[in-house]
Amino acid sequence: MNTGRFQDLVKGQYGRKTAYVDFSEVTPENILKIISKGASTLNWNRPAIRYLHDYYKGDQPVLYRNKTIRDDINNPVVENHAFEIVSFKNAQTYGEPVQCVSLKNDEKINKAVDALNDYNRNANKNLVDIQCGEWTSSVGMGYKGIQRTKPPYVVPYRLIAPSPMNTIVVYSAITFEPLLSMQQLKDENGEQYYQCFSEYLEYIYKQGQIISTNIHAFGGIPIVEYPNNADRLSDIELVITMLDAVNEIQSNRVDGIAQFVQSWFKFINCEVDEDSFLAMKQNGAIVVKSNNGTNTASVDLMQQELNQEGTQVGKDDIWNNALDILAIPNRQSNTGGDTAGAVSLRNGWDFARQRANLKDPYVSVSDKRLNRVALKVISQAVNPNPCELTEMDYDVHIVHSPTDNLLVKAESLEILLRSGIHPLVAIKVTGLWADSEKTYLQSKPYLDALWHTVDEAIDSEIAKQGLNSQVEKAKQIVGDLNGGTNN
Query: Is there a contact between 115 and 388 (Cβ–Cβ < 8 Å)?
Result: no
Asked, for residue 378, whether it belongs to a domain, the answer is: no
For the stretch 413-454, pLDDT in tens is 888 888 888 888 888 788 777 777 778 878 888 888 777 665
Give the three-class secondary structure for 157.
strand
Rounded Cα–Cα distance for residues 225 and 38 (Å): 13
Rounded Cα–Cα distance for residues 392 and 394 (Å): 6
Give the three-class secondary structure for 101.
strand
Question: How many Cβ atoms are within 10 Å of 77's Cβ, its own excluded?
Answer: 17
Q: Is the pLDDT of residue 74 over 80?
A: yes
Asked, for residue 425, whether it belongs to a domain, the answer is: no
Stretch 237-263: mean pLDDT:
84
Asked, for residue 161, whether it belongs to a domain, the answer is: yes
Q: Is the pLDDT of residue 224 over 90?
A: yes
Q: Please indicate, yes or no, whether residues 190 and 42 belong to a single structural domain of this protein.
A: yes
Q: Please indicate, yes or no, whether residues 155 and 264 belong to a single structural domain of this protein.
A: no
Stretch 129-151: mean pLDDT:
96
Q: How many helices (H) and strands (E) does the chain have?
A: 15, 13
Q: Which of 187-201, 256-270, 408-422, 453-467 is modeled with the greatest confidence?
A: 187-201
Asked, for residue 479, whether it belongs to a domain, the answer is: no
- Pick from 174, 194, 227: which residue ends a domain? 227
- Pick from 184, 204, 227: which residue ends a domain? 227
Long-range contacts of 229-232, Cβ-Cβ distance < 8 Å, separation of 24 or more: 229/140, 229/358, 229/359, 229/362, 231/14, 231/15, 231/16, 231/140, 232/15, 232/16, 232/17, 232/18, 232/140, 232/141
Asked, for residue 124, whether it belongs to a domain, the answer is: yes
Closest to 236 in 3D by CA, of 21, 48, 387: 48
For the stretch 252-310, pLDDT in tens is 888 777 775 555 556 666 766 777 667 666 665 566 666 565 666 666 655 566 677 77
Question: pLDDT: is 437 or 19 the higher one?
Answer: 19
Q: Please indicate, yes or no, whether residues 218 and 252 belong to a single structural domain of this protein.
A: no
- Position 13 scores a pLDDT of 95
Question: pLDDT: is 103 or 342 the higher one?
Answer: 103
Chain centre to alpha carbon of residue 251: 30
Q: Within 13 Å, how many C-alpha atoms sit on residue 43's CB side?
A: 7
Q: Please indicate, yes or no, whether residues 83 and 199 belong to a single structural domain of this protein.
A: yes
Q: Please indicate, yes or no, whether residues 71 and 198 belong to a single structural domain of this protein.
A: yes
- Position 295 scores a pLDDT of 65
- Position 274 scores a pLDDT of 73
- Pick from 339, 368, 390: which residue ends a domain? 339
pTM of the model: 0.81
Domain that includes residue 130, residue range: 6-227
Q: Please indicate, yes or no, whether residues 30 and 135 belong to a single structural domain of this protein.
A: yes
Rounded Cα–Cα distance for residues 193 and 204 (Å): 7
Asked, for residue 203, whether it belongs to a domain, the answer is: yes
CB burial class (10 A; 0-12, 13-18, 19+) of residue 215?
Answer: exposed
Asked, for residue 437, whether it belongs to a domain, the answer is: no
Q: Please indicate, yes or no, whether residues 212 and 256 belong to a single structural domain of this protein.
A: no
For the stretch 297-309, pLDDT in tens is 666 655 566 677 7
Q: Please indicate, yes or no, whether residues 80 and 183 belong to a single structural domain of this protein.
A: yes
Q: Is the pLDDT of residue 29 over 90?
A: yes
Give the three-class secondary structure for 6.
helix
Q: Is the pLDDT of residue 146 over 70?
A: yes
- Position 265 scores a pLDDT of 59
Question: How many Cβ atoms are within 10 Å of 270's Cβ, its own excluded?
Answer: 16
Q: Please indicate, yes or no, whether residues 213 and 157 belong to a single structural domain of this protein.
A: yes
Q: Please indicate, yes or no, whether residues 252 and 140 belong to a single structural domain of this protein.
A: no
- Position 58 scores a pLDDT of 95
Asked, for residue 399, whether it belongs to a domain, the answer is: no
Q: Please indicate, yes or no, whether residues 207 and 288 belong to a single structural domain of this protein.
A: no
pLDDT tier at 143, thresholds 50, 70, 90: very high
